[in-house]
Amino acid sequence: MANLKEVKERINSVVSTQQITKAMKMVAAAKLRRAQDKITQMRPYSQKLTAILNNVSSGSEGSSDLVYADKREVNKVLIVPVTSDKGLCGAFNTNIIKATSAAINTEYAGKHITILPLGKKALDAFKKREFDIVTDYSNVFADVAFDNVSAAAEYAMEGFVNGTFDKIVLVYNEFKNVATQIVRNEQFLPMEQDASEEQTSTNVDYIMEPSREYIVQELVPTSLKIQFYKAVLESNASEHGARMTAMDKATENAGELLKELRLMYNRTRQAAITNEILEIVAGAEALGGN
């Protein structure tokens, strides 16, 4: 059985850890609120802009020379895994890395793979492997602003237009609620028009100035950047939700461990007192016998 000093040190260590996890949970909860507000405000805008774009580009006039919809044989693939900069958020980062690796080994086996990691955890996971790595945008979560994210989107879009990449894929966590994040493997380019959105949007007749072609060319890059930005916001909200859940569970586990350690401490202390009493009684009897 451990002595009192060892048990006391373990209790103090667990108490300190519990205070840290509780503080991290509160910080994550505050950040989650802001991140959740951003993504809930972004979703309707992104969906409406996509619907308008589908309607405008569905006609032959707008889609005949749309470079971002150019479908060709896939030999060179750019994969954009979106993770966090920090850990202590459960399986949040691991799920993205596993999903990315699974896609590389199955769907894109034999293709030339380039990785554009967003988040330091993705960079650390793939920089030691044999893939080409684009490191310029890995610190995007230092400041989750549209301008910073759109720079990464522009790099991907330019690479698709000039033929550097035949297909671009986003792998990220979609925020559902605090306890649930859904891993998405989403094709970014070439553009794919959703059938349901196309059917609902074709009922709307827009008046376009100066022309359909001009509107399409202006809308497409903006829509793609917003789609890219939305994936980053989804991941950002998911990260804080995952960290809040992980720290809440860690705090609960620390509480359970403290109960066990305090019970052990009391038992050890009681055993030590009992031994001391037995030694005193034995000594007294020995003196009385003499």
Active-site residue set? 89
The distance in angstroms from the start CA to the end CA of the chain is 35
Report the C-alpha gap between 290 and 287 in whole angstroms.
5
At 99, is the secondary structure helix, strand, or coil? Answer: helix
Residues 6+ apart with CB under 8 A from 226: 42, 45, 46, 49
Radius of gyration for the chain, computed over Cα atoms and rounded to the nearest angstrom: 29
Query: If residue 179 lies in a helix (H) or strand (E), which one and from where to where?
Result: none
Assess contact for 178 and 170: CB atoms under 8 A: no
Q: How far is CA 31 from the centre of its chain?
A: 14
Long-range pairs for 89-95 at CB < 8 Å and ≥24 separation?
89/239, 89/242, 89/243, 89/246, 90/242, 90/243, 90/245, 90/246, 91/242, 92/173, 92/181, 92/238, 92/239, 92/242, 92/243, 93/119, 93/121, 93/122, 93/125, 95/173, 95/181, 95/183
Rounded CA gap, 185 and 44, in Å?
A: 21
- For residue 138, the surrounding DSSP H or E stretch is none
Rounded Cα distance between 274 and 108, Å, is: 69
Query: CA-CA distance, 88 to 227, in Å (whole number)?
Result: 27
